[in-house]
Amino acid sequence: MLEVGMKAPAFTLPDQNGNSVSLSDFAGKKVVLYFYPKDNTPGCTRQACAFAQNYAQFQAKDVMVIGISKDSTASHLKFAQKYELPFVLLSDPERQAIEAYGVWQEKKLYGKVSMGVVRSTYLINEQGVIEKVMPKVKPDSNAEQILAYLNGEE
């Protein structure tokens, strides 16, 4: 995984509407970049909905929220519409950003080892530098943890 103080790797990926989105589009703003395994799975849905419920607070702080997974743009669009997600979801089937940010890792589930996206969140500052790294986050508390940090409570 990347570390605090490192320059955030650049990327350009399609969003849920098929538009190209680059990290550089958000220069001058803080960005919450969260990586998750799969649309419409229980943990990922709870995490996305928690970000949606707290979205107004992120907006009030001029902080962008971006979710990234390997899912297709069509899957992202259905996911965003179903749960009324107000933020950008980026499709990374080639694992461009997923690997650049070090979240493609070995996972163990019921004794079976496989490769996959480890749920992780990065806070990137206005200059494109990683300000906070949150590896292996809990889906239910991730959004609140970031807000607490942004509010100086952590």
pLDDT (0 to 100) of residue 115: 93
Instruction: Quick: pLDDT tens for 23-62.
Output: 999 999 999 999 999 999 999 999 999 999 999 999 999 9
Q: Position of tokens 């589930």?
A: 109
Tell me, what's the pLDDT at 128?
A: 97
The whole-number pLDDT of residue 108 equals 83
| Low-confidence stretches of the chain (pLDDT beneath 70) | 154
In whole angstroms, what is the distance from residue 4 CA to residue 113 CA?
Answer: 29
3-state secondary structure labels for all residues of 123-147: EECCCCEEEEEECCCCCCCHHHHHH
Written out in words, the top-level CATH class of the domain with range 12-150 is alpha beta
Which residues are catalytic, by number? 44
CA dihedral 135, 55, 33, 40 (to 10 degrees): 80
d(C-alpha 150, C-alpha 55), whole Å: 13
Overall pTM > 0.85: yes
Domain boundaries, the chain: 12-150
